[in-house]
């Protein structure tokens, strides 16, 4: 990936695959039940406190709609509602919300559910907890995806799935980060040029710009074939299951063994103020990929916004990846992912899908 490409080329649909050309074309989300997401809780309820912790199931509704409904049900402002992560509208999802109720009086659960067709919202259970549910307070998400009208050689598809289970996939930010049609990137550049935006939109635009810069660097590593090796001079590594990073340090067999065991992962930059932590060849590539076209404006905008240099793992391995063929043209996938990663990125390594 070279030249003065626009940030819009790095939304997700122009990014290189690590395992070769597409081996599958299929339809996703023929119904919301074809895209099921279950939030994996990061903790158990404390059993006491001023926050009512809700587990809900919803169909055809996004997280913001559910939060507004819960606030109205409880008679509290939306600021009293907490949730760990955003979930898709075109899916069946289970997730947690918290409601701050200082008087510790739970509303009547009989008035909670919304039953309709095709949308519904249901309360599955509730417990008291000591704190508001913050963003990111989850262990991950479990996905069950059904791909219909599948076209492709079954042996090639299964070989690709086996490779993905063994090596993982590039940990790109998904297209969801960039808004409808990728417009968030254009709006971010306008914001950096002086256009005023609201506080909430500002956060979304900064996230989109930072994500696009990361995707561009990762795409270059994928094209170079070293996105998952961790054996490039100046590499910075992240411990699996955490955000802790270390390095650079001299490459040796012990580091290589840890990378092969998925104990550590090579990383790329989440751009901000300060010096890159990487060095040598890795730092040179990271600077080069963000040195021309619109990328210097993206870099400068992120720095002026006060964001600090951080790192993100370059690779993602779907946990417990399993598959089955309920019919000759239907593929069912199951896997779990850590917070902040995307099922659509996993699918992209297989091929192209209508309905995403």
Q: How far apart are the first and last CA of the chain?
A: 25
**CB within 8 Å of 196: residues ≥ 6 apart:** none
Nearest Cα residue to 28 out of 148, 206, 127, 137: 148
Give the contacts of 177 (CB within 8 A, at least 6 positions apart): 11, 12, 184, 207, 208, 211
49: left (phi over 0), alpha (psi -120 to 50) or beta: left
10 is catalytic: no
Q: Which of 135, 131, 221, 207 shows the shortest CA–CA distance to 171?
A: 221
DSSP state of 108: P
Q: How far is residue 292 from each of residues 99, 106, 253, 287, 339, measured CA to CA in Å? A: 47, 56, 36, 10, 32
Task: Output the CA–CA distances (angstroms, integers) from residue 212 to 159, 160, 302, 350, in the order listed.
Answer: 30, 26, 12, 22
Selected catalytic residue, list 9, 10, 88, 183:
88
Burial degree of 264 (CB within 10 A; 0-12, 13-18, 19+): buried
Measuring CA to CA, which residue among 280, 232, 274 is closest to residue 256?
232
- The residue length of the chain stands at 356
Q: 3-class SS at 44?
A: coil
Backbone angles phi, psi at 228, to 5 degrees: -120, 5
Q: Give the residue numbers annotated as catalytic, written as ranges.
A: 88
């Amino acid at each position: 990936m070279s030249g003065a490409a626009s940030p819009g080329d790095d939304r997700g649909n122009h990014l290189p695959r690590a395992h070769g050309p597409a081996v599958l074309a299929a339809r996703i989300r023929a119904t919301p039940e074809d895209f099921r997401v279950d939030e994996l809780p990061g903790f158990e309820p404390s059993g006491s406190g001023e926050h009512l912790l809700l587990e809900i199931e919803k169909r055809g509704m996004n997280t913001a709609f559910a939060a507004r409904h819960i606030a109205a049900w409880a008679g509290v402002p939306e600021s009293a509602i907490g949730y760990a992560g955003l979930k898709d509208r075109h899916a069946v999802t289970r997730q947690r919300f918290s409601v701050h109720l200082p008087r510790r009086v739970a509303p009547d659960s009989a008035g909670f559910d919304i039953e309709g067709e095709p949308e519904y919202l249901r309360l599955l259970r509730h417990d008291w907890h000591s704190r508001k549910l913050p963003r990111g307070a989850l262990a991950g998400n479990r996905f069950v995806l059904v791909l219909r009208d599948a076209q492709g050689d079954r042996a090639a598809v299964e070989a690709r799935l086996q490779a993905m289970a063994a090596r993982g996939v590039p940990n790109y930010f998904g297209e969801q980060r960039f808004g409808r049609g990728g417009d968030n990137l254009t709006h971010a550049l306008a914001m950096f040029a002086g256009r005023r935006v609201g506080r909430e939109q500002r956060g979304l635009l900064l996230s989109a710009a930072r994500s696009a810069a990361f995707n561009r660097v990762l795409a270059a590593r994928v094209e170079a074939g070293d996105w998952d090796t961790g054996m490039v001079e100046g590499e910075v590594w992240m411990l699996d299951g955490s955000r802790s990073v270390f390095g650079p340090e001299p490459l040796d067999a012990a580091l290589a063994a840890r990378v092969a065991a998925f104990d550590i992962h090579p990383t790329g930059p989440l751009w901000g103020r300060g010096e890159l932590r990487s060095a040598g060849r890795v730092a040179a590539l990271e600077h080069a990929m963000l040195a021309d076209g619109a990328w210097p404006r993206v870099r400068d905008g992120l720095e002026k916004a006060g964001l600090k240099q951080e790192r993100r793992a370059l690779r993602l391995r779907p946990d417990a990846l399993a598959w089955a063929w309920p019919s000759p043209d239907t593929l069912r996938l199951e896997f779990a992912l850590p917070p902040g990663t995307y099922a659509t990125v996993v699918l992209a390594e297989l091929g192209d899908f209508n309905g995403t």
